[in-house]
Amino acid sequence: MAHGPYAIAKEDGVIFIENACPGDELELEIYDQRKDFAYAHIIELLEASELRAPEPPCKIHKICGSCQWQHIQYDEQLKFKQQNLTDLIPGVETPAIVGMDEPWNFRNKITYPVEVVGKTGRVKAGYFKRNSNELINVKHCPIQYSIFDEIMDALKEQMSTRGYPDKLIRHIMLRSNIDQSEILLCVVLRESMLDKEFRNKLRVDLNKIQEKFPQIVTTSINYNDLSTNVILGQKTEVHNGPGYITETFGGIKLEISTTSFFQVNTKQFLKIVEQIKSAILRTLSEEKGTSGSHKLLDLYCGIGTISLSLAKAIPELDITGIELVESAVENAKKNAEINQISTAKFIHGKVEDLASPEPSAQSPQPYDIVIVNPPRKGCTNKVLNDLGQLKFKQLIYVSCNPSTLARDAKHLEQFGFKIQSLQGFDMFPHSFHFETLAVLTRE
């Protein structure tokens, strides 16, 4: 398996094949021939690999863009992800990737694109077909919380009788806490198409669905008129409820709003945070001669999940979190108040501007430990160079993309950093994606 949706065959070059499994014997049709490699479709599965999953529970897994590896037995998926990590970051001993005991119904958030069908007015919502803009109307998704299927089915049926024009509704988002006792529903609209009639219809529909499913404690409307692939716009209006759901996460309470970033797999993220705690506690125990607080810098801190979890467990940490999204910073500050934590502060701004080697009132020096949890594109060279100039010994890097982690770790070698430990976590079962926790140290 490649680090992607493809299995690899070799004959006069490399052939990439979707929905194939190592050990399959296949008849193929090459549809894209390049100089050194090609892409192929499966015409016929002549002999199935013993690694294949016998009956994947999702009937559309071969075409849906969400799960690319559902046709492979789960234990084998973990082995392939482990091999991907070893291939991308060689020379570092890594334990087996941390999988899930039950790798289904784990997603705490979905965001479905929406389409209204022609003259019928039927509302479709789901995922896009792989490598296309064709929308699949999803009725059942086995990787998300099961209550989402029920809510979406009822909401689509209800909205299909209302005469909404196509393109008005861009997305429908659902997010839930881990016990599914609180759910947030958001409808993303093009505000330029929203007149008084459809605004009133939408409000009625939101009220009805909330009556039918009392677990929906917050409904909201987000406005996005931009012609980009960014889902949420800058403007969010709470229709009903407090504007958030409440999650209990490893001993802390978190308010999660429409625009808050929170990992989609709560159970696995808890495991990552526990391992971060262990790494920091080991470092502090090695510095037995020191006393007082230890300064920790948390970059791309979001709503403060990691910072506040650490502050609760390790009171001697003095934590500064930096985050670009202003609403996330407000969430983080509110979450600190809720949990009565005074040892963590949060700053709104670009990491590139505030993670500076020059001390300032907002970002004092020196730090003992730095955590980075960047987006898939990883850290910019400026951030990495600034980190190289900061006087600290331990860097904890949480990555959703091992390719950019490998690149950034290589960049940091020039400043004396080396990967001390590397651990993969299967945050996204049945896809090729996984999360990686790297601990880097320097003398």
First to last CA, the chain: 37
Catalytic position from the list 67, 141, 186, 400: 400
Placement of tokens 């404690």 in the chain: 217
CA angle at residue 435 from 408 to 404, to 5 degrees?
20
DSSP string, 35-47: SSEEEEEEEEEEE
Which of 347, 348, 308, 353 has its CA nearest to residue 326? 348
Q: Given strand 183-189, what is the order of strands in its sheet?
A: 135-137, 122-128, 109-117, 169-176, 183-189, 216-223, 235-240
What gap in Å lies between CA 412 and CA 386, rounded to an integer? 10
Check if 400 is active-site: yes
Q: How far apart are CA 142 and CA 106, in angstroms?
A: 9
Contact between 32 and 17 (Cβ < 8 Å): no
Helix, strand, or coil (residue 270): helix
Contact between 340 and 315 under an 8 Å Cβ cutoff? The reply is: no
Catalytic (active-site) positions = 400
